[in-house]
Each structure stands twice: as structure tokens, then as C-alpha cells.
Amino acid sequence: MSGLVNLNQCIFNPENLKTLDLSVNNISDLENYEFRNYTNLVHMNLSHNQIIDLPRYVFKNQKLKTLTLSHNLLQALPFQVRRKTTNFSYS
């Protein structure tokens, strides 16, 4: 566990990333358009965090094929998040 809370503290030039593994951290809050500059992101792992809620447009403009959100505190998912991915893990 790295204890990462804020993505902007450590990721610069995110437009080149294709895979991002942010699992096992302390991420709890995500904003709409949080990943707007991650334009080439295809695989994202946010499992084992403290995420309670996902805004509708948190992943707007991404090319996500795989999104892993397991082991968070989520109660519901906006359809805008789920329809963006082809391989989705949430439990």
C-alpha cells in the first residue's frame, strides 16, 4: 500500500499512459473529469481503495476496455461508467 490519496500529486503527462494500476491505496474521492487528460488509457485498476462514489463523468473521453473497482465501498455505479468498458470488475 502506497497511501496515495491524490492523483495529481504524482502523475505528470498522463496522456501517454495506457495502463494505470492504482490498486491498494487510500483513494476515496474522484471528481467528474478526473481522468480527462488520460486520453490513451485502456486498462485501469482502482481495486482495494476507499472509493464510496463514482461521478457520472469520471472516465469521460477515455478508451477504457478494462476497469477494476473491486474491494471498494461503492453502493452503486452510474451507467455512464459501466457502458464505457468491455471488461468490468466490481464486487
Q: What is the pLDDT of residues 42-68, one digit of tens each?
A: 999 999 999 999 998 998 878 888 999
The helix (run of H) or strand (run of E) holding residue 87 is strand 87-89
Higher per-residue pLDDT: 1 or 8: 8
How many helices (H) and strands (E) the chain has is answered by 1, 4
- Mean pLDDT is lowest, of 10-14, 35-39, 80-84, for 80-84
Q: Is the pLDDT of residue 1 over 60?
A: no
* 66 contacts 87 by C-beta, under 8 angstroms: yes
pLDDT at 39: 92
Task: Kindly report, residue by residue over 2-28, the tens digit of the pLDDT.
Answer: 666 667 667 888 899 999 999 999 899
* 41 contacts 62 by C-beta, under 8 angstroms: yes
Bridge partner residues of 45 (DSSP): 21, 68
pLDDT at 2: 63
